[in-house]
Amino acid sequence: MKKDIISMLDVKDDLKQIIDNAIEMKKGNYEKIMKGRTMAMIFEKSSTRTRVSFEVAMEKLGGHALFLGKNDIQLGRGESIQDTAMVLSRYVDVIMYRAYSHENMKELAKHASVPVINGLDDKEHPCQVMADLMTIKEKKGRLKGLTMVYFGDGNNNMAHSLILGCAIAGMKIRIVAPRAFWPEEYYIEEARKLGGEVEVEEIGEDSAREADVVVTDTWVSMGDEAEKEERLRIFKGYTVDEKIMAQAKEDAIFMHCLPAYYGYEVTKEVAYGKQSVIFDEAENRMWAQMAIIKWLFE
């Protein structure tokens, strides 16, 4: 059966291997395993990191990537996801899809005869979280037993994939979010089934206690633009600043998948401060994805 990466759950048995491979590949130890192979990359939403890192990753592995903006292909004019999947599967070896809807992501994977990689949808962002875990392992030397504290929109793709990713990696996660933006119960349940320790709370005086890793993400994800004003009002007080970082462990690192909106979810002082690893995290998208591709084609 072909492998897909739609959710962090799809890599739960091999996450450690993927992360260790990514760290190894970053040292220059990789072969051109994608020689003669092509990746189609369908984008319904904007992207800097996902687009460029996948394209360069494919080139480094000896393969080729095709950028397909939704409005450049017939999908944007109403061709079905099923037909898009069935046609692309005749030309390419793997499809990366950035979608508005997780349902559409699953539909594409169902009808594609080649592997499908989730390059972000409304529910999950697994490629980012694999790069994040790789970055934590690089910085801390381990994952098991560490505590992550995530501030802000607890109901978005990053929060959900981090909840699953931490559970798989043996890390504890605390989601600090306004009650209306707590994670979907499904992700907490799945994490707990894997033995994950998940806490969810509203912001307090010591929300970042015991944190080895402090994380945030935009308060207004792609697709949420109509709610922007309301969200900015509700999330006020959740900005990761130096006061929050001071509650965490002294050697805590700060992470953000980017793009960041400074002065909202994080201050510039923290994002560019000495605890921040955001640009290593961005770079690691490429190495983690090379390891993901290797895993799919092994």
Site of interaction with ligand NVA (CB under 6 A): 120, 156-158, 217-218, 221-222, 257
- Treating both helix axes as pointing N-terminal to C-terminal, what angle do 278-297 and 49-60 enclose, rounded to 10 degrees? 50
Q: How far is the CB of 121 from ligand NVA (least distance, A)?
A: 8
- Give the integer Cα–Cα distance in Å for 241 and 267: 5
Q: How far is the CB of 224 from ligand NVA (least distance, A)?
A: 8
Q: Which one of the spans 48-56, 57-65, 85-93, 241-249 is the region binding ligand CP (CB under 6 A)? A: 48-56
- Give the integer Cα–Cα distance in Å for 43 and 116: 13
182 DSSP assignment:
P
What length does the chain have?
298
Site for ligand CP in 242-281 (CB under 6 A): 257-258
Q: How far is the CB of 230 from ligand NVA (least distance, A)?
A: 17
Look at residues 158, 114, 130 and name the one whose alpha carbon lies nearest to residue 12: 130
Q: Is 117 helix (H, G, I), strand (E, B) or coil?
A: strand
Using CB under 6 A as the binding rule, whether residue 218 contacts ligand CP is answered as no
Active site residues: 98, 125, 128, 217, 257, 285
Dihedral (Cα; 99, 104, 106, 110), 10-degree rounding: -120
Q: How far is the CB of 194 from ligand NVA (least distance, A)?
A: 23
Other beta carbons within 10 Å of 227: 13
Out of ligand CP, ligand NVA, none, what residue 21 binds, judged by CB under 5 to 8 A for its kind, is none
Query: Which tokens go with 178?
Result: 């306004």
Nearer to ligand CP, 172 or 256 (CB): 256
Using CB under 6 A as the binding rule, whether residue 157 contacts ligand CP is answered as no
Integer-rounded Cα Rg, in Å, for the chain is: 19
Nearer to ligand CP, 41 or 175 (CB): 41
Using CB under 6 A as the binding rule, whether residue 47 contacts ligand CP is answered as yes
Out of ligand CP, ligand NVA, none, what residue 216 binds, judged by CB under 5 to 8 A for its kind, is none
Residue 100 phi, psi (nearest 5): -75, -40
Residue 281 phi, psi (nearest 5): -60, -45
Site for ligand CP in 113-152 (CB under 6 A): 120, 128
Out of ligand CP, ligand NVA, none, what residue 48 binds, judged by CB under 5 to 8 A for its kind, is ligand CP
Out of ligand CP, ligand NVA, none, what residue 156 binds, judged by CB under 5 to 8 A for its kind, is ligand NVA
121 DSSP assignment:
-
Count of positions on this chain that bind ligand CP (CB under 6 A)? 8
Kindly list the residues in this chain that would bind ligand CP in the complex (CB under 6 A). Answer: 47-50, 120, 128, 257-258
